[in-house]
Structure 1
Amino acid sequence: MKKVFALLLALSMFCALLAGCGKKEETDNVTVRVGAMSGPTAMGMVKLMKDAEDGTAKGTYEFADLSTDPSTFVAPLTKGDIDIAAVPSNLASVIYNNTNGGVQILAVNTLGVLNIVERGDSVQSIKDLAGKKLYATGQGATPEYTLRHILKQNGIDPDSGLTIQWCADTTEALSYIANDSEAIAMLPQPFATAAMGQVDGLRVAIDLNDAWTEIEDCDIVTGVVVARTDFVKEHPQAVETFLSEYEASVAYTNDNAADAAELIAGYGIVAKAPLAEKAIPKCHITFLKGQEMKDSVSGYLQILFDENPQAVGGTLPADDFYYGL
């Protein structure tokens, strides 16, 4: 009787083990719903988008329509309609704070994309902006806070040491540049590259990444990839597969600019492939994860917090904001 009982117990444990394995497989066999903004974040994701479309990706992905407004993904992330999204780093912090830790950063995907451009040669360094008029976009968002920090660290009061005229969008800023040969502007990539194709003599005077690294140890972290915390817990293998494929997609974009540009134009991320090819090296598309990700993001968020706490949602995120640590 004892032998029979032992046999039944062993069989039940074996069945439970099989059931557990089956449940794990089912949990990770999931369609990952992904959102991305048009611009550098989508440029780095384009190979994965193509592989998903062709059915050659390891994971199963459903990509939402590209958006120019990062807030588009806030509600879907909060409601669970999107699992993973590429968003500005400070917005990731805001969502984290507003959802009590409802999202985690998986990786950094874009460093600084801001350039100071002009048609002449009056600007060789940040200090040359003193006393000048600068057209810019991004008031009340990370471009403004990044610019203000760089100016202050270079001894220029951003409120009185120069005149900053905030424009509604990049098109408005471009109109000033086109009509005034002495105009100076702060433009993001890839728009800055596009503008140089439209305005004769327009040049990048300063890449703000370079100006930033002269004063800080961390990076300008423009974009990150976040996932719903619940999704990470429920589908760990799907998250790891996504990260692996996304890292490969970023490498493809940076290493195969001409081919990636064709895909970028094909998906309507940038109008023309030649423009996309020129812009890719200037967009600082990257992939950082783990401790390197945390160091970059936490350092940048601290600076934004010091400029304006509400820029990051009122408080700095805790350690559980960073995936894999």
Structure 2
Amino acid sequence: MWRRGALVVLVGVLAAGLLPAGGASEHEAVPDEVRLTLFLGPTALGFIPLLEAGEVAGVPLSYELVPQPDVAVSRILAGETDVAALPVNLAARLYNGGADYRMAAMYLWGLLYLVAPEPVTLEGLAGRRVYVPGKGATPDLVFRFLLEKRGVEGVELDYSLPPAGLAQAVAAGKVDYALLPEPFVSRVLALREDLVVAFDLQAEWEREVGTPLTQTCIVVKGEFLQEYPVFWKEVRRAIEESIHQVVADPDGATSSPVVEKLGLTSEIARAAIPRCRLSFVPAREARQAVEAYLGVLLEYAPGSVGGALPPAEWYVE
């Protein structure tokens, strides 16, 4: 369901009625609205101030919070959104499949953690059963890559529970070793005092690969870039400022009523923000890290990235 942000009365708009205050040049049109698609949950946390503002440089913002990737995919394939936050491999797969949505920036650099009764190394998992949500999903691929790189054998990977079911089993004390993404990490830690974050998959990845683990990126419709190149800079600036505000003041951001719309409580959102590693990095600057990540996925599951690394033009200047 699309939500329309508050309309902003523009003061000092030229007679042509085309300029956002402080925005694009007087000869460039701006859209009637900016359409934004986000997943419910922690990947939308950096957008809280922007969603609360409901506009970009005077142009109304419409946003949709989707529960599943297939909904976001349908919006993109139909060209019904201008900007979206997507898993990096999904964004690459869609572009390789012909959807002209280009990577504008990396945004979320962390989500995956192993929770356990005590701190443990990858090598210390030998002989243990570790529950992993979704065989062949990106958390599984990253985890198996790290085990292989370290030469760790004898880890029994159990894929029998989906993410929500796995989190419930951990919270109920039925599972002790589990690979979980946020916000499930924060939820189970709040319910079980005997659990800790045993290790950070992002840190393990960077130790092995030499670049950060890229997880969620921001994409923009190619047609939007072409029609509104100057206004796009306003959109990009608004997103970057929103993310910075959340990182700088997580208490203030998570007190917003928008948090509840994301399917999170203020307490869980506040706990999850540091572990999400939110940081806006322009696409061209993030390219090396993105290609390192996609290269591993390409080796383990070529279909997960669309069979090839995206070309240079995928990365927005």
TM interval, shorter chain, is: 0.7 to 0.9
Please point out which of 139, 142, 147 is paired with 1:146: 142
Q: Is the 8 A contact 1:40 1:110 kept in 2?
A: no
Please point out which of 129, 151, 158 is paired with 1:133: 129
Which residue identity does 2:113 align to in structure 1?
N
Q: Is the 8 A contact 1:32 1:60 kept in 2?
A: yes
SS of alignment partner, residue 186 of structure 2: helix
The CA RMSD measured in Å over matched residues stands at 2.1
Which residue identity does 2:85 align to in structure 1?
A
User: 2:115 matched to which residue of 1?
Assistant: 117
SS of alignment partner, residue 66 of structure 2: coil
Name which one, 1 or 2, has greater alpha-carbon Rg. 1
Which residue identity does 1:242 align to in structure 2?
V
Please point out which of 269, 272, 290 is paired with 1:276: 269
Does residue 1:38 correspond to 2:51, yes or no?
no
Q: Deviations over 1:206-242 (max 9, x none)?
A: 1111111110122211101111112211111222111
User: 1:67 matched to which residue of 2?
Assistant: 66
User: 2:256 matched to which residue of 1?
Assistant: 263
2-side partners of 1:234 and 1:318: how far apart? 22
Q: Deviations over 1:34-91 (max 9, x none)?
A: 1011223210011111112xx5x41524333311212211122122211111110000
Q: Measure how far apart 1:117 and its partner are.
A: 0.1
Which residue identity does 1:65 align to in structure 2?
E
User: 1:98 matched to which residue of 2?
Assistant: 97
User: 2:187 matched to which residue of 1?
Assistant: 194
Q: Is the 8 A contact 2:136 2:301 kept in 1?
A: no
Q: Is the 8 A contact 1:107 1:226 kept in 2?
A: yes
Q: Is the 8 A contact 2:169 2:175 kept in 1?
A: no
Q: Is the 8 A contact 1:305 1:315 kept in 2?
A: yes
Number of residue pairs aligned between Structure 1 and Structure 2: 294
2-side partners of 1:69 and 1:151: how far apart? 29
Q: Is the 8 A contact 1:127 1:156 kept in 2?
A: yes
Q: Which runs of 4+ in 1 moved over 6 A?
A: none
2-side partners of 1:144 and 1:163: how far apart? 12
Q: Percent identity?
A: 26
Aligned runs of 1:151-230 on 2, under 5 Å?
A: 151-157=147-153, 161-180=154-173, 183-230=176-223
Which residue identity does 2:28 align to in structure 1?
E
User: 1:77 matched to which residue of 2?
Assistant: 76
Question: Could you state the TM-score of these two structures normalised by the residue count of structure 2?
Answer: 0.86
Question: Could you state the TM-score of these two structures normalised by the residue count of structure 1?
Answer: 0.84
